[in-house]
Amino acid sequence: MKDLSNVRFSLRRCELREWRKDDERSLQAHADNPNVACWLRDQFPQPYTLDDARIWLARNLDVPKQSQFAIVIDGEAAGGIGLYFQSDIFRRSAEIGYWLGEKHWGRGVMTEAVVQVTRFGFERYGFAHIFAGVFEGNTASVRVLEKAGYQLEGRLRKHVTKRGVTMDDLIYGTTAPLQGAAAGAANADIP
């Protein structure tokens, strides 16, 4: 059944909200940047045209389960963050993906967004595990994940080929906080 209750988060440095049809111009302007695209899968277009923005928005408007958020700064959609549901035996895991317009880098925006969306994934969908794949050399993204409490779980060697270069993929992950009695037991002092 369709879940109509979109959530929004007002954070210190940005707002996270659902994507809207009228985000197309700001999305295109911030996403059309090789310095952003070079750290993302090839499905993130480069150059990023208005048509690409429309395709993304069409796919993410009116979806049955909220998983994608626009990152809004000064009233503009300046980036995106979302959870990608896995299936079959991986159904209690989600991949997190994110990007931000370059002019806003280095101010802690993505760290607070990752913290919030991770919490949302655990609380809203009951995921046991949330992970990200980071291309070797993406120091900023590694730092974001570490600050948000993720840990290095593995290195898939020569797993990524981007712009003609084959490189390692670093898997960072975090697991759901223990709930209820289990949390109490885990936190109890050991005599």
Ligand X SMILES: CC(C)(COP(=O)(O)OP(=O)(O)OC[C@H]1O[C@@H](n2cnc3c(N)ncnc32)[C@H](O)[C@@H]1OP(=O)(O)O)[C@@H](O)C(=O)NCCC(=O)NCCS
Query: Which residues make up the interface to ligand X (CB under 6 A)?
Result: 36, 39-40, 98-100, 105-111, 132, 134, 138-141, 143-144
Could you tell me the smallest distance in angstroms from the CB atom of residue 171 to ligand X?
A: 11
Could you tell me the smallest distance in angstroms from the CB atom of residue 113 to ligand X?
A: 8
Could you tell me the smallest distance in angstroms from the CB atom of residue 190 to ligand X?
A: 33
Nearer Cβ to ligand X, position 86 or 138? 138
Strand duo 76-85 + 165-175: pairing: unpaired
- DSSP assignment of 40-107 equals S-TTS-SS--HHHHHHHHHHHSS-SS--EEEEEETTEEEEEEEEEE--GGGTTEEEEEEEE-GGGTTS
Residue 134 near residue 142, CB atoms below 8 Å: yes
Nearer Cβ to ligand X, position 21 or 157? 157
Could you tell me the smallest distance in angstroms from the CB atom of residue 181 to ligand X?
A: 35
Nearer Cβ to ligand X, position 39 or 85? 39
| Phi/psi of residue 27, nearest 5 degrees | -60, -50
Nearer Cβ to ligand X, position 110 or 117? 110
Q: Which residue has the tokens 């009233």?
A: 75
Residue 33 near residue 102, CB atoms below 8 Å: yes
